Amino acid sequence: MVETKNDLRAFLASLYRIAVETAHPAAFLPRLLPSLPKGRVIILAAGKAAGSMTEVAENYYLDELSIPAERLRGVAVARHGYGRPTRVISMVEAGHPVPDAAGLKAAERALELADGATADDLVLVLMSGGASANWIAPAEGVSFADKQAVTRALLRSGAHIGEINTVRKHLSRIKGGRLARHARPASLVTIAISDVPGDDPAVIGSGPTVPDPSTLAEARAIVAKYRLDLPPAVINALNDTANESPKPNDPAFAGSRFVLAARPADSLKAAEAAVRAAGYDCISLGPDVEGEAREVARAHAGMARTLRAQGKRAVIVSGGELTVTMRGKGLGGPNQEYALALVEALAGMPGVAAIAGDTDGTDGGGGNATDPAGAIVDGNSATRARALGLDPAAFLANNDSTGFFSKMGDLLEPGPTYTNVNDFRAIVVEKP
């Protein structure tokens, strides 16, 4: 039985680890890799799990199937700090969430390799969250600086990931199904780790190998909805019909295959099983929770208070991707902001604690691999904060969750996990 405050925190940290380990490519990728073609295997990988997925794929083809190294080609690009020691495939580390020149070069190399693929080759695309920022190939007339400006504006707007990717896909030469056009006439197989609510292939990494149901008109509507101030070249591109993305009837998708390898739901179910094994009731809110981080936190805290009042011993678990509308000048991300909002919302409840962390190991911040993944709080956090001279409400108003939790010593800092199935949150409630 979990009893003390430290026990509760250790238990929550173990749930986070279970969620992450369930989503690591080593756990599922080997059995999903396609058989050898007549020609080459061209691996194009992008996202936070690109290095680990490529590492597993290389081991499979080179060691298990014993193919000569010259039949294996490709490029993998992950965010800075998420590279792995690949053997044949070029490994690139690039900017995230704001793209950088390394991502630009990696995308151009991926397009070159796809263009050079023949009918005897297999183009194997390994996708994971973060690919939208790591593969940057601006549409005609849009500069790299323009794409960076768009990304910054979208990230600060409070737009959810589907909206962000709708705009991105209509400003790109690789996203929104366009990579599939470059890969013809080769066989095309995509294996993806989902980091988006609903696991929509067209949203994961902005769907470079699948049909795009979104439209230019929808992208323009998102810009208007959030009143984004964008460069003139971007506005022109979103009004240019040449930038409409390929739809389901496009021949580029004939015969291609998409495999969803790991989902947020899988990680959540693994954590749920651990909750029940520990003797708790499990209240699962599902893998697709969205909304403003502080508002969702208050709603979840209300559920915890109700369970406490009912004398229940339970854990509330949820996944999804929350958003933060920036009004202050602080540092943090949606998981830390969710946790910061819980500090006051859970105040005065002993035997209650919560964790919120991004399964990729970093949550917002400065775009560094050393950024925290989230934070852990409990019913005594507000009292501890005030004893340290900290006002949780003031830090929340300034969107400075990292600043708050660094002073509290409550940051969740696992480092890069080499996977990404979105956020994991849990609130444990002991009996009074």
Q: Averaged over 259-275, what is the pLDDT?
A: 97
Any idea which of 16-25, 127-136, 181-190, 364-373 has the lowest mean pLDDT? Answer: 364-373
**220-258 exposure pattern, b = at least 16 Cβ within 10 A, e = fewer:** bebbeebebebbebbeebbeeeebbbbeeeeebbeebeb
Task: Give the pLDDT confidence score for residue 5 in this predicted structure.
Answer: 62
For residues 247 and 298, state if they share a domain. Answer: no
Cis status, amide bond into 97, omega within 30 of 0: yes
Task: Give the pLDDT confidence score for residue 28 in this predicted structure.
Answer: 96
DSSP string, 224-259: HHTT----HHHHHHHT-GGGPPP-TT-GGGTT-EEE
Ordered alpha helix ranges (H), 244-326: 264-277, 293-309
For residues 63 and 135, state if they share a domain. Answer: yes
Q: What CATH number is given to the structural domain containing 272?
A: 3.40.1480.10
Separation between Cα atoms, residue 395 and residue 338, nearest integer Å: 12
For residues 279 and 215, state if they share a domain. Answer: no
For residues 219 and 330, state if they share a domain. Answer: no
- Whether 236 contacts 220, CB under 8 Å: no
Task: Give the pLDDT confidence score for residue 1 in this predicted structure.
Answer: 41
For residues 281 and 257, state if they share a domain. Answer: no
Q: At which of 222, 237, 264 does a domain end?
A: 264
For residues 179 and 127, state if they share a domain. Answer: yes
Task: Give the pLDDT confidence score for residue 300 in this predicted structure.
Answer: 98
Separation between Cα atoms, residue 135 and residue 77, nearest integer Å: 8
For residues 232 and 290, state if they share a domain. Answer: no
> Above 70 in pLDDT, residue 263?
yes
* More confidently predicted of 1 and 102: 102
Q: Averaged over 393-417, what is the pLDDT?
A: 97
For residues 124 and 247, state if they share a domain. Answer: yes
In DSSP terms, 292 is beta-bridged to 323
> Above 60 in pLDDT, residue 131?
yes
Q: At which of 249, 264, 279 does a domain end?
A: 264
Count of domains for the chain? 2
For residues 396 and 288, state if they share a domain. Answer: yes
Task: Look up the domain containing 52 and give its range.
Answer: 24-264
Each residue's pLDDT tens digit, 343-359: 999 999 999 999 999 99
Q: At which of 204, 234, 264 does a domain end?
A: 264
Q: What CATH number is given to the structural domain containing 51?
A: 3.40.50.10180
For residues 258 and 396, state if they share a domain. Answer: no
Q: Averaged over 46-54, what is the pLDDT?
A: 97
pLDDT above 90: percentage of residues in the chain: 90
Structure tokens at 413: 């800092």
* More confidently predicted of 189 and 133: 189
Q: Averaged over 409-425, what is the pLDDT?
A: 96
Each residue's pLDDT tens digit, 191-247: 999 998 889 999 899 999 999 999 999 999 999 999 999 999 999 999 999 999 999
For residues 423 and 346, state if they share a domain. Answer: yes
> Above 70 in pLDDT, residue 331?
yes
Residue 134 makes CB contacts below 8 A (sequence gap 6+) with 46, 47, 50, 77, 78, 79, 94, 95, 96, 99, 103, 106, 107
Residue 19: which region, alpha, beta or left (left: phi > 0; alpha: psi -120 to 50)? Answer: alpha
Q: Averaged over 259-273, what is the pLDDT?
A: 97
Each residue's pLDDT tens digit, 136-176: 999 999 999 999 999 899 988 888 888 998 999 999 999 99
**Residue 103 DSSP SS3:** helix
Q: Averaged over 284-307, what is the pLDDT?
A: 97
For residues 203 and 149, state if they share a domain. Answer: yes
